[in-house]
A = this chain, B = another copy of it.
């Protein structure tokens, strides 16, 4: 069995969660009741259910290392298979994901990889490194607008007029609606 520092705490916390699990929650189905998909960062300080007042069953929550483009497949499935008709895109300040750039991350991975006697990394690591696209992250300013614009203009995304853009402040917990139509 794999070793994990967090297995015991997950099991203990979940035991209490199950004891208090409401019967009505167990009867919920997969199409989100509020027909919305929330796209936000994987950042450890963000708890979208809490800061948006969402309840289980109400919304899809898509979280990645900051990339809206990466959420595209999930959003299309959310709309076409599970009937959502709104998207809310959240960015936040002090994002750790903005501290790297693609070149720096590739160099870091190369430096950290095991080397053969000639100082070369393995073909497996080299091939995987070439194959992956570490899209550079934009800064908070302007990036919410760009993400909303990207989704609105995408040929496979529906309901463009109900896509909203938001900023979340990790220092205060406050969300702010961004006027994405203002140039």
Contact = CB atoms under 8 A, between A and B. Distances in A.
Chain multiplicity (copies): 2
A94 interface: yes
A168 to B, nearest CB: 9
Contact of A155 (B5, B12, B128): B128
Interface in A99-139: 99-100, 105, 108-109, 112, 122, 124-125, 127-129, 132-135
Contacts of A12: 53
Contacts of A133: 73
Contact of A74 (B9, B52, B65): B65
Contacts of A177: 1, 7, 11
B53 A65 contact: no
Contacts of A112: 80
Contacts of A173: 14, 17-18, 21, 25-26
Given A25-B173, A62-B63, A125-B156, 19 more contacts: A2-B161, A5-B34, A6-B36, A6-B88, A21-B172, A26-B170, A28-B44, A42-B74, A44-B58, A44-B59, A44-B60, A65-B77, A70-B70, A73-B132, A76-B134, A77-B97, A80-B112, A81-B96, A81-B100
Interface of A: 1-7, 9-14, 16-18, 21, 25-26, 28-37, 42-47, 49-54, 56-65, 67, 70-74, 76-78, 80-82, 86, 88, 94-97, 99-100, 105, 108-109, 112, 122, 124-125, 127-129, 132-135, 148, 154-156, 161-166, 170-175, 177, 179-181
